[in-house]
Structure 1
Amino acid sequence: MNGTGKTPLSVVLAGGGTAGHIEPAMAVADALRELDPGIRITALGTARGLETTLVPQRGYPLVLIPPVPLPRKPSRQMIDLPLRVRRAIKQTRAAMDEAGADVVVGFGGYVSLPAYLAAGPGIMRRRRRIPIVVHEANASAGIANKVGARRAAAVLTAFPDSGLPKAQMVGIPVRSSITSLDRPALRAQAREHFGLDPDAPTLLVFGGSQGARSLNEAVSAAAPELAAAGIGVLHAHGPKNSLDVPAASSGPRYVSVPYLSRMDLAYAAADAVVCRSGAMTVAEVSAVGLPAVYVPLPHGNGEQELNARPVVGAGGGIIVKDAELTKQYVLDTVIPLLTDAEGLSRMGRAAAGAGHRSAAGEVARIVMDVARGQVG
């Protein structure tokens, strides 16, 4: 019971595996607690996902369920799939019963599929249905969310044409430490934190949590020219990678780190970004109003390029193919970008205008309406 004598709402969040699934879930969790401090939140995940670290760090309970990756080609895993799905559903139902779930919110990936299936009634239909809210962060919906959307009370997306029926576009939930970031106010502190030049235009480079070889090689090769142009660099190369930065005789520092644990300070220190274009990266970079050179992953179905197109179309960024990101591209495009203060300001305003700073709060309000039976 809460202070009003009513049983608090219970929300189960299914968004494990990658940061792109976990971070929106945690942003919604924070927004739910802002709306109702007594709300009960349970996160589902697997033992092999980043959620084992990220969810406890944010102060939320994590219940582990068996992973159910969907094979993309005929294999032994395909034969075993029905049994693995049944096991995962059984354990997920037990977790939902223990939590007294009023609503399940899925963010895609292999944690969401058993959650969507477990939210339905059992074979004998003695179990109550638990309403579902689906959030799709990518421009093209994945299999799990396509399954969940079929019986969801609300389907929310970050893009207008994700392929999900009856979808409402809300953007990607981003944590409040990013959406409320005052970059100019934090700039001096941020640059001191990383040991950067306090006054030089500064380029932030990162390729996701593991880094990206093409970004690492192209930008680091141009280190002397960047320094000669008066540009400082903060480069996160990935914990498993090393970076060979040619020495510069003078100019602002080129600071390389394996990983950025304080992305808020990294964004505050920067004037522009070279990065991949995963959905979460695009959401954060645009939310803080940073001009970006987006380098989509060259693999998969091309969804990373689709993620960046709205921001680029609004004038807040540039897309360059992975194979075309070379030292010469840095010299010809990135350096002129960083040395054009007026152009940077214009691109930053366009990026901020293309972002969705209020997405987490909007999703949280919809989730609570669904849990209370006011939607669906």
Structure 2
Amino acid sequence: MSRPLRIVLSGGGTGGHIYPALALARYIEKKRPGTQFLYIGSERGLEKNIVPKTGMAFEMVKIQGLKRSLSLENFKTLWYMIKSTAKAKKLLKEFKPDVVIGTGGYVCGPVLLAASQLHYPSIIHEQNSVAGITNKFLSRFVSRIAICFEDVAKDFGSCKDKLVYTGNPRGQEVIEQIKDSLDHQGDKKEVLIFGGSQGAEAINTAFLEAYKELAKRNYRVTLVTGKKLYDQVKVNLTEDLRDNIELLPYIDDMPEKLARCNLIVCRAGATTLTEITALGLPSILIPSPYVTGNHQEHNALSLAEKGAAVLIRESDLTGELLLKEMDSILNDPVCEKMMAQAAYDMGVRNASERILELIEGLL
């Protein structure tokens, strides 16, 4: 099949739902020139700022998540769901897609439900090792369920016959973006510490606790604080920055920075783990305890159990422990190499191709 396609994408709230969708779109554009996309997002999520910059057609529906406790807000959510499903139906009838793909977030609910009611082929993509509430709800309505962690199969119950292991489209794209930088590491080993796009106060605090000892190490350390936390870290840093320490509020080109590192200290979001396994990087993972279903800890365990990462729970995190784990990896070439190989073996580098094959099989 070589004809251009018509594809509706939906996913939002966080970059972890948006960037895999955009990576998939860019891959399909290369393989099926002339393919047209419509992205349906929410009024609240990051997608309203990110997607229009790509030039992709973008529409919005109004939706919010269910509260886990008894709340009047849930009646409002139900009303939004009814209205947004009706709007999504109208958008789909106008666009006439070959397939509708959801990559997670509340906005996928009305869009994929509308696709089911209109009998359009549909796929949901679950990036985490614990399925999101929206994807679990949609699993009975969609045609296929693409997954990145085999552990998540248990969350889809009677819909297991729809499961296809694809991995995350972001992985191969990262490799393509930085392939010229992969073998250009300097003479000193480099560690990148970051807590996601917003930063993580607990990780910043551990860095500050370890700072005096880190300044004595023979490896370079970069801490990405998060824009809102940068000034706070600067104030709490009691000494001038040493030559081997770098402090940044944010990194625009994270894949490029990752390519030059020997060790990553970070949260355990699905997109981040996709990037570091695609590159074959050892990591120290500090899962956020504030996410639905504690899915970041499950993500981190998937790597730790394979020997690709060290898991430190935030409740156990101290500067001393962080420094100990960093030293144990970077001062042991055999350990570092084994972790890197284990991470690389977990990386999925043709996820977009697999999802395109899924699409073709539905048409």
TM-score by length of structure 1 reads 0.87
Q: Residue 246 of structure 1: CA displacement? A: 4.3
Q: Does 1:217 align with 2:210?
A: no
Corresponding position of 1:282: 273
Corresponding position of 2:310: 318
Corresponding position of 1:297: 288
Tell whether the 8 Å contact from 1:224 to 1:246 is kept in structure 2 after alignment.
no
Tell whether the 8 Å contact from 1:105 to 1:367 is kept in structure 2 after alignment.
no
Corresponding position of 2:23: 27
CA distance in 2, matches of 1:341, 1:247: 31
Deviations 1:134-159 (A, max 9, x none): 11111111221122211221111112
Amino acid at match of 2:179: D
> Which of these residues, 222, 225, 228, is aligned with residue 234 of structure 1?
222
> Which of these residues, 329, 351, 375, is aligned with residue 321 of structure 2?
329
Tell whether the 8 Å contact from 2:124 to 2:135 is kept in structure 1 after alignment.
yes
Corresponding position of 1:193: none
Which deviates more from structure 2 when the two are superposed, residues 254-263 or residues 64-73?
A: 64-73
> Which of these residues, 339, 345, 351, is aligned with residue 353 of structure 1?
345
Tell whether the 8 Å contact from 2:13 to 2:46 is kept in structure 1 after alignment.
yes
Corresponding position of 1:169: 165
CA distance in 2, matches of 1:275, 1:94: 42
Unmatched 5+ stretches in structure 2: none
CA distance in 1, matches of 2:173, 2:5: 25
Which deviates more from structure 2 when the two are superposed, residues 70-79 or residues 52-61?
A: 52-61
Tell whether the 8 Å contact from 1:224 to 1:248 is kept in structure 2 after alignment.
no
Q: Does 1:365 align with 2:357?
A: yes
Q: Residue 278 of structure 1: CA displacement? A: 1.1
CA distance in 2, matches of 1:100, 1:361: 23
Corresponding position of 1:265: 256
Q: Residue 248 of structure 1: CA displacement? A: 6.3
Q: Residue 330 of structure 1: CA displacement? A: 2.3
Q: Residue 204 of structure 1: CA displacement? A: 0.4
Deviations 1:181-231 (A, max 9, x none): 33764635xxxxxxxxx4221110111110101111102332231221112
CA distance in 2, matches of 1:177, 1:31: 8
Amino acid at match of 2:73: Q
Q: Does 1:150 align with 2:140?
A: yes
CA distance in 2, matches of 1:319, 1:246: 29
RMSD value over aligned CA atoms?
2.0
Specify whether residues 171 and 182 from structure 1 end up closer, same or farther in structure 2 by C-alpha distance, changes over 3 A only. Answer: same
Deviations 1:238-267 (A, max 9, x none): 1111223343685x4311111111012210
Corresponding position of 1:95: 91
Q: Residue 36 of structure 1: CA displacement? A: 0.3
Q: Residue 271 of structure 1: CA displacement? A: 0.8
Amino acid at match of 2:225: H
Q: Residue 57 of structure 1: CA displacement? A: 3.4
Tell whether the 8 Å contact from 2:63 to 2:77 is kept in structure 1 after alignment.
no
3-state SS of 1:13 partner? strand
Q: Residue 237 of structure 1: CA displacement? A: 0.7
CA distance in 2, matches of 1:224, 1:279: 32
CA distance in 1, matches of 2:305, 2:48: 37
Deviations 1:13-41 (A, max 9, x none): 11111111111111111121122011111
Tell whether the 8 Å contact from 1:14 to 1:111 is kept in structure 2 after alignment.
yes
CA distance in 1, matches of 2:64, 2:102: 14
Tell whether the 8 Å contact from 1:109 to 1:144 is kept in structure 2 after alignment.
yes
Specify whether residues 135 and 185 from structure 1 end up closer, same or farther in structure 2 by C-alpha distance, changes over 3 A only. Answer: closer
CA distance in 1, matches of 2:282, 2:180: 13
Specify which structure has the higher proportion of helix. 2
Report matched runs for 1:104-253 at 5 Å.
104-121=100-117, 128-162=118-152, 163-164=155-156, 165=159, 166=161, 167-174=163-170, 176-180=172-176, 181-182=178-179, 185=182, 187=184, 198-242=186-230, 243-244=233-234, 245-247=237-239, 252-253=243-244
Q: Residue 44 of structure 1: CA displacement? A: 1.1
Specify whether residues 177 and 103 from structure 1 end up closer, same or farther in structure 2 by C-alpha distance, changes over 3 A only. Answer: closer
Identity %: 30
Specify whether residues 249 and 210 from structure 1 end up closer, same or farther in structure 2 by C-alpha distance, changes over 3 A only. Answer: closer
Q: Residue 302 of structure 1: CA displacement? A: 2.2
Amino acid at match of 1:111: V
> Which of these residues, 80, 83, 93, is aligned with residue 84 of structure 1?
80
Tell whether the 8 Å contact from 1:132 to 1:148 is kept in structure 2 after alignment.
no
Q: Residue 61 of structure 1: CA displacement? A: 2.1
Specify whether residues 230 and 33 from structure 1 end up closer, same or farther in structure 2 by C-alpha distance, changes over 3 A only. Answer: same
CA distance in 2, matches of 1:22, 1:141: 16
Tell whether the 8 Å contact from 1:13 to 1:25 is kept in structure 2 after alignment.
yes
Amino acid at match of 2:17: H
Tell whether the 8 Å contact from 1:203 to 1:338 is kept in structure 2 after alignment.
no
